[in-house]
Amino acid sequence: MIHEPARLEIFLTKLAFFFYGKSVYKAFADRLPLVGNERVLDFGCGMGTVAYYTARRLTDGHLTCIDISERWLKICRKTLRGYKNVTFLHAGAPAQPENSFDMVYCHFVLHDIADSELEAVVTALVKSLKSGGILIFREPLNEAEKLNIIKGLISQSQLILKSSRITDVPLMGNALESVYIK
């Protein structure tokens, strides 16, 4: 079943973006190891909170925003209306050819995916990465069981953990932020 956000969820996300955009979303986007010419996938883009800050860093690159929700994508298009280097896709997993992206990032998304679908999603994300590509996720630390499943699936896919850290995210609590290389 596709989860379309309720008006309250949309309102609260917009409020968080307005008040905490720089400390939460920009801080995450600024840590993405980008030069500016990469092809990047924002998996589960929502309203484009991280994409807003990532797109401006891709001066010669391209950002693909993907979400399962039509409602979030509509809002994301508005959030990123000033950027010409962004493509929007309505899908549950990347439908991109293998080896398409230099980087894939997921911000508070993977923990919401059903266990029965998670393996297929992680596999698709890994396949969409070019050799040497980077997968980065930030997920709530209080989802320890889900985090173990996510980390296990990524390890099975032969990605190498480059770094991992715990961050305190305003309004969201502690989160695990991990960087993997293909």
CATH number of 56's domain: 3.40.50.150
Which pair of tokens denotes residue 27? 């801080």
Please list the residues that pair with 140 across neighbouring strands. 175
- Residue 91's domain comprises 7-181
| 139 falls within a domain | yes
* Alpha helices per DSSP H over 45-114: 51-55, 70-79
| 1 falls within a domain | no
| 2 falls within a domain | no
Three-class SS of residue 118? helix
pTM of the model: 0.93
Asked if pLDDT for residue 61 goes beyond 60, the answer is yes
| 168 falls within a domain | yes
Say how far apart CA 130 and CA 125 lie, in whole Å. 10
| 145 falls within a domain | yes
Asked if pLDDT for residue 1 goes beyond 60, the answer is no
- pLDDT digits 0-9 by tens, 144-167: 999 999 999 999 999 999 999 999
Domain count, the chain: 1
